[in-house]
Amino acid sequence: MTLTKLATSVAALALLAGAAFADGHAMANPQVGGADMFADKNIIENAVNSPIHTTLVAAVQAAGLVETLSGAGPFTVFAPTDEAFAKLPAGTVESLILPENKDMLTQILTCHVVAANATAEAITAMVDADGGMHKVTTVGGCEFTVKAADGKVTIEDGQGNVANVTVADVMQSNGVIHVIDTVLLPAS
């Protein structure tokens, strides 16, 4: 093999390797709170591994929704972080996880779930098609307003609170998770 052919072969292999890495890297699921999320695991399997969703996981367990969110779906879950729950008035989370408040907790949690597999791209397309905002009805019966601007997606709840999607498109075997920074609440 001549030096020119060797150089050409090495360059071609480098380009192929670079393209393969770029494709694999671009398709990798985002980490959440520093933890790997796996597209072949369901929403619950991934959520329990997220160090920033311990409150959400505890609430889902208290509400008895583990089996539901482990099911076939598809589900889109707007998943509030521990910091989002910490923004609620003192004692709210502790009160909600009491057995006597299970119905209220279940409604709040299911207000974070849409019965669809809605990626950020699909959500943005719906918002654009509706002139800048799109109404979403959740599994819990809440109606929220989704907006998209400058590459960021926000959700306004029934009380006027606005959640920012901080990590989008965490793909799951039964849907997609979008991490949010505020707990969404039903209209009072």
User: What is the model's pLDDT at position 135?
Assistant: 95
Asked whether 114 and 123 are in contact (CB, 8 A), the reply is no
Q: Which of 79, 76, 80, 78 is nearest to 172 (CA)?
A: 76
User: In which region does residue 28 sit, left (phi positive, over 0), alpha (psi from -120 to 50) or beta (all else)?
Assistant: beta
Cα–chain-centroid distance for residue 79? Answer: 5
Give the other-Cβ count within 10 Å of 154's Cβ.
19
pLDDT digits (tens, 9 = 90+) for 86-121: 999 999 999 999 999 999 999 999 999 999 999 999
Lowest-pLDDT range of 11-25, 34-48, 119-133: 11-25
Cα–chain-centroid distance for residue 1? Answer: 52
User: In which region does residue 118 sit, left (phi positive, over 0), alpha (psi from -120 to 50) or beta (all else)?
Assistant: beta
Section 59-64 average pLDDT: 93
**Cα distance between residue 168 and residue 179, in whole Å:** 6
- The fold for domain 31-180 equals FAS1 domain (2.30.180)
Percent of the chain with pLDDT over 90: 74
pLDDT digits (tens, 9 = 90+) for 131-152: 999 999 999 999 999 999 888 8
User: What is the model's pLDDT at position 107?
Assistant: 94
User: What is the model's pLDDT at position 149?
Assistant: 87
User: What is the model's pLDDT at position 27?
Assistant: 56
pLDDT digits (tens, 9 = 90+) for 154-175: 999 999 999 999 999 999 999 9
Percent of the chain with pLDDT over 70: 86
Asked whether 77 and 113 are in contact (CB, 8 A), the reply is yes
User: What is the model's pLDDT at position 88?
Assistant: 94
**Cα distance between residue 45 and residue 59, in whole Å:** 15
Section 66-77 average pLDDT: 92
The model's confidence at residue 13, banded by pLDDT at 50, 70 and 90, is very low
Q: Is 41 helix (H, G, I), strand (E, B) or coil?
A: coil
Q: Which of 52, 35, 174 is nearest to 116 (CA)?
A: 174
